[in-house]
Amino acid sequence: MKRRSFVKKATISSFATLIGAEIIFGSNILEGYVPLALQDPDPFKMFNKNKEMVVLNDKPWNMEAQAHLLDDEITPNSCMFIRNNGLIPESIDVKSWVLKIDGESVVKEKTYTLAELKSKFKQYTYQLTIECGGNGRSEFNPPAQGNQWTIGAVHCASWTGVRLRDVLEDAGIKNNAVYIGYHAADIHLSRDPKKEPISRGCPMSKALQDETLIAFKMNGEDIPLVHGYPLRLVAGGWPASVSGKWLNRISIRNIIHDGEKMGGDSYRVPCKPIEPGEKIKDEDYCIIESMPVKSLITYPKSGAIINKGKTLNIRGHAWAGELEVTKMEYSIDYGSTWKMCTIEKPKNRLAWQHFKASIDFPQTGYYEVWAKATDSNGKAQPMLLPGWNPKGYLNNACHRIAVKVK
Ligand SMILES: Nc1nc2c(c(=O)[nH]1)N[C@H]1C(S)=C(S)[C@@H](COP(=O)(O)O)O[C@H]1N2
Ligand SMILES: [Mo]
């Protein structure tokens, strides 16, 4: 969506909220008139994003990709979705930036400058799949509140940094440690400095994995500001909310981290299946850990037209949280029959895997190509929306594209 049409969609009342003042005679404002305070930010320019990215929210900024924009093996910045819970930090001084390690279960509190982190610890580079827990939310009914992600809240970039484990071990981990929680420099929407937009974490077992990084580079360059410059936690295969951006503190906890968005219905789903719309008690929610198996057809773009007798070569990526994708299939008859795709091994653990297939259509007409991945535990993607949950998490239904054979 282009900036202009995006701004047109916004209502006068949302302008008022943005500016923080009432717009008197708002209904008399000329169509297309944009209050001065809002004329500046063009999210596509500001974040270096592809013009086909879709803006879901501007306060805070949230943007998603479309399937065909995710065709690269390693996602470039221009096509990476943006999910912010608060406001991007306004001033970042890399010289004075420190990462503090604290918490009940740290042996000795320590702080590290960026230079110390980079020189003291060995550096690693991994391709890591990060998917928002709410990717696919838009399909749930009754609808779930929050950004109405379709399929574009996933990316697999190449991240360089130091192992979280090495830093935690340097500070020392007490035997009673169960969880880590991150803290970051972004600003709460209320601008109340005592409030954090988000502060999540993961169990020690995930924190200590080889691939869990404190990253300072993305695709070989400084991490772009909106993706967490100058420091970010990256925990591939888990809800992206675990991968804290603008990281400045990690607490080693002797309890399950109780930071912002760790409780309630945030990133938690019913422990047992429930009826759509059903309300459940707080103790019946479980924290989302590894993300489910999923795939995307990234070529061709939905709506492709090919000539009769021509073979269609499709391609895309598949991922399975902590697991590997071991089987990839496609269907051109709404799931009645399935044929195999070829699927590559991941570049490293927790990287998405590339698949392709050559499809011959039996006759002219309208087709849908569906893709279905199966993980190493034998679990496949459901063809339809999986279990309803209050916040619309974990929709890993099969992706499909339309193809016309003429
Ligand atoms: N500090 C901080 N880290 C954060 C967030 C945030 O709002 N603030 N959002 C989380 C969520 S919910 C997601 S989906 C990912 C999005 O990462 P991206 O914007 O780099 O794609 O960042 C996570 N890390
Ligand atoms: Mo997210």
pLDDT in tens, the chain (406 residues): 444 444 444 444 444 444 444 444 434 444 444 444 444 579 999 999 999 999 999 989 999 999 999 999 999 999 999 999 999 998 899 999 999 999 999 999 999 999 999 999 999 999 999 999 999 999 999 999 999 999 999 999 999 999 999 999 999 999 999 999 999 999 999 999 999 999 999 999 999 999 999 999 999 999 999 999 999 999 999 999 999 999 999 999 999 999 999 999 999 999 999 999 999 999 999 999 999 999 999 999 999 999 999 999 999 999 999 999 999 999 999 999 999 999 999 999 999 999 999 999 999 999 999 999 999 999 999 999 999 999 999 999 999 999 999 9
Mutate to test the pocket of ligand 1, among 46, 53, 198 (most ligand atoms within 8 A of CB): 198
Is the sign of the CA dihedral 206, 134, 58, 151 positive or negative? Answer: positive
Q: What is the pTM of this model?
A: 0.90
What separation in Å is there between the alpha carbon of 322 and the centre of ligand 2? 17
Cis peptide before 230 (omega within 30 of 0): yes
Sheet holding 247-253, edge to edge: 110-113, 98-102, 247-253, 179-184, 201-203
> What does the pLDDT read at residue 41?
76
Alpha-carbon span 305 to 44, nearest angstrom? 29
What separation in Å is there between the alpha carbon of 405 and the centre of ligand 2? 38
Q: What domains sit in the chain, N to C, each tagged with a CATH number?
A: 1-40 (no CATH), 94-287 (3.90.420.10), 294-405 (2.60.40.650)
What separation in Å is there between the alpha carbon of 134 and the centre of ligand 2? 6
Ligand 1: residues within 6 Å at CB?
80-86, 132, 184, 186, 197-198, 227, 240-241, 243-246
What separation in Å is there between the alpha carbon of 201 and the centre of ligand 2? 13
Mutate to test the pocket of ligand 1, among 80, 84, 99 (most ligand atoms within 8 A of CB): 84
Ligand nearest to the backbone CA of 154: 1
CA angle 399, 262, 215 (to 5 degrees): 70
Alpha-carbon span 309 to 293, nearest angstrom? 33
> What does the pLDDT read at residue 36?
43
Alpha-carbon span 286 to 273, nearest angstrom? 11
> What does the pLDDT read at residue 8?
41
Count of positions (residues) in the chain = 406
| Shortest-distance Cα residue to atom 12 of ligand 1 | 241
> What does the pLDDT read at residue 371?
98
| Helix/strand/coil percent split, the chain, to 5 | 15, 35, 50
> What does the pLDDT read at residue 111?
98
User: Which residue, 309, 281, 310, 314, is CA-closest to 297?
Assistant: 314
User: Which atom from ligand 1 is nearest to the alpha carbon of 227?
Assistant: 20
What separation in Å is there between the alpha carbon of 241 and the centre of ligand 2? 5
349, burial (CB in 10 Å: exposed 0-12, middle 13-18, buried 19+): middle
